[in-house]
Amino acid sequence: MHKLRNKAVKEVTQSGIEVYKKLLAHCRCALDEESFEPLNGAERLLFIEFSLSTYAAYRQLDELFSELKKIIARKRIEHKHLNK
């Protein structure tokens, strides 16, 4: 989308932010851990929200999702080992 200079980038990024926030809230609730988030997650999310239509914001959001996925996988492994 960014290569084509598509004007819908802003809306797509905003939708991605909403999905990310819902996933993060769900993880925090499920783990009962309010501090659960990727490193510098709040600051990075703030940057994304103020730079919606930039490629840098898109990349940061993509990285936040990737890091969240890794953290979830690690938590699953930890939970699995605790329940043995």
Residue 3 lies in a domain: no
Residue 1 lies in a domain: no
pLDDT in tens, 14-32: 999 999 999 999 999 988 8
Q: pLDDT class for 2, splitting at 50, 70, 90?
A: low
- Of the chain, the end-to-end C-alpha distance in Å amounts to 46
Average of per-residue pLDDT across 25-45: 91
The whole domain housing 47 covers 9-82
Domain count, the chain: 1
CA–CA distances in Å: residue 7 to residues 33, 52, 71: 37, 11, 32
Residue 2 lies in a domain: no
Average of per-residue pLDDT across 43-57: 94
Q: What is the model's pLDDT at position 52?
A: 92
Q: pLDDT class for 8, splitting at 50, 70, 90?
A: confident
